[in-house]
Chain A
Amino acid sequence: MSPLPDAEVLLARLIDRIRPDLTQATALVGIHTGGAWLAERLHRQLGPVLPLGTLDVSFYRDDFDQTGLRPEVRRSNIPFEVEARHIILIDDVLYTGRTIRAAINELFDYGRPASVRLATLVDRGGRELPIAADYVGASLALPPDTMLVLVQDSEGKLGLDLHPRNLPKA
């Protein structure tokens, strides 16, 4: 299999694709954890005037009955009015689409946005729900028994890691 792409290159590409669509009413929302790192970088480079929020979708996941609550739930933080905003939702890896479904549900508990678009660093296919990204850094075909994760080093540099998938609890 070819080596994984450089996450920093993909991020630069993603920023270029989002930039033309920004308006006064745009807000960025990153999904914990990788999406929140990306949202912060986008925020820094696209203009710190854009409102920035984060979501931890643990309380909205559809696999609670199978896997339970994640050990470290972070606090969702949407420090702006969602009503009438054009939200760009940001996640690191788009796979089954279930996380995005949970994120959209949570977002609507804060208010009714004018629109929601989805940006992802990597689209790896394998969708189980009718969800598509509007902005994509790269599309990759990966074996289904693997997990692609975004990592951040001590200097804040982003990278991609491929792991064997953890088997779900019996």
Chain B
Amino acid sequence: MSRNPQLNEHGELQHLLTTEGLPLAILRRILDTAESFVGVTERDVKKVPLLRGKSIFNLFFEPSTRTRTTFEIAAKRLSADVINLNIAASSQSKGETLLDTVDNLSSMHADMFVVRHSQSGAAHLIAHHVRPDIRVINAGDGRHAHPTQGLLDMFTIRRYKRDFHNLRVAIVGDILHSRVARSQIHALTTLGVPEVRVIAPKTLLPARVERLGVQVHHDMAEGLRDADVLLMLRLQSERMLSAHIPSTQEYFKYYGLTQEKLALAKHDAIVLHPGPMNRGVEIDSAVADGGQSVILPQVTFGIAVRMAVMSILASN
């Protein structure tokens, strides 16, 4: 078996590219370390000196506000220097290749790259290419993976539900285009969640999705029954090259989360969403702003989880 490209020869995390194949011990260590960083983010001085003198480059080849901002805040709270590059608007439009861009930035003494790209595998390619002392974090590559989002969802679930071993988790919506769903499924199964369901119309499910170890439901009422955790996904209309759904109104009717549908899940079920939300498409405002929603805590925890990932990578 070939070596997991995220791990070094000692089995330590060298890059974070995907939650697929991430060993349980590393997953747990990230979540535990993030717990300590939540303490830091609740203080008046929300900064620790851990990565002082390190340079972290945010390479965003695809627009993003929230993810880039939370990575930037995480790096600054670790006292690293952060350089944000909006590549879509610069070198690439002048014809420079991805790896030439990376080589140039490496020569500016980068210690870590946070990479968002529309092509699946872009972060892997960069991780494979850079000097061995440089760390790479995948901040979303095409439809493939968005590991820090998956991890912050796991952190949020653990915060509210404590134990993964007796949970029913339902992932609802556009699984086909979602790198978040893939990252969630791999992390949930590694953490020992016994029942992971995906709820979506046939047109928004990848072929043979059940091979990932999930139960497939096309009927939302059936899929939500007695669920403990609802992971809502954004309907990614910008990634839809062809018609996958008749209309957003019809999508909302069958797969939008309303109070009535939420009532089918357990009474203490929690609702997560990676943002940005399409209100009235995949989620009703009454649910998004309701008592079972943990969507805003997710954002806060996302900073602590990214601090944990950065500090663990820098220390290996």
Contacts and interface: CB of A to CB of B under 8 A. Distances in A.
Contacts of B40: 59, 76
Interface residues of B, number: 20
Interface residues of A, number: 20
Interface string A39-83: 000000000000000001011100010011101111111000000
Contacts of A59: 36, 40, 48-50, 311
Q: Which applies to chain A's interface (DSSP): helix, strand, loop or mixed?
A: loop
A72 B308 CA distance: 12
A113 to B, nearest CB: 14
B132 interface: no
B38 A75 contact: yes
B244 to A, nearest CB: 43
Q: Which applies to chain B's interface (DSSP): helix, strand, loop or mixed?
A: helix
A73 B50 contact: no
B39 A109 contact: no
B312 interface: yes
A105 interface: yes
A71 B29 contact: yes
A75 B315 contact: no
Interface of A: 56, 58-60, 64, 67-69, 71-77, 105-106, 109-111
27 contacts: A58-B36, A59-B36, A59-B48, A59-B50, A60-B48, A60-B50, A64-B50, A64-B315, A67-B315, A69-B50, A69-B311, A69-B312, A69-B315, A71-B29, A73-B33, A74-B36, A75-B36, A75-B38, A76-B36, A76-B39, A76-B40, A105-B49, A109-B43, A109-B44, A109-B47, A109-B48, A110-B44
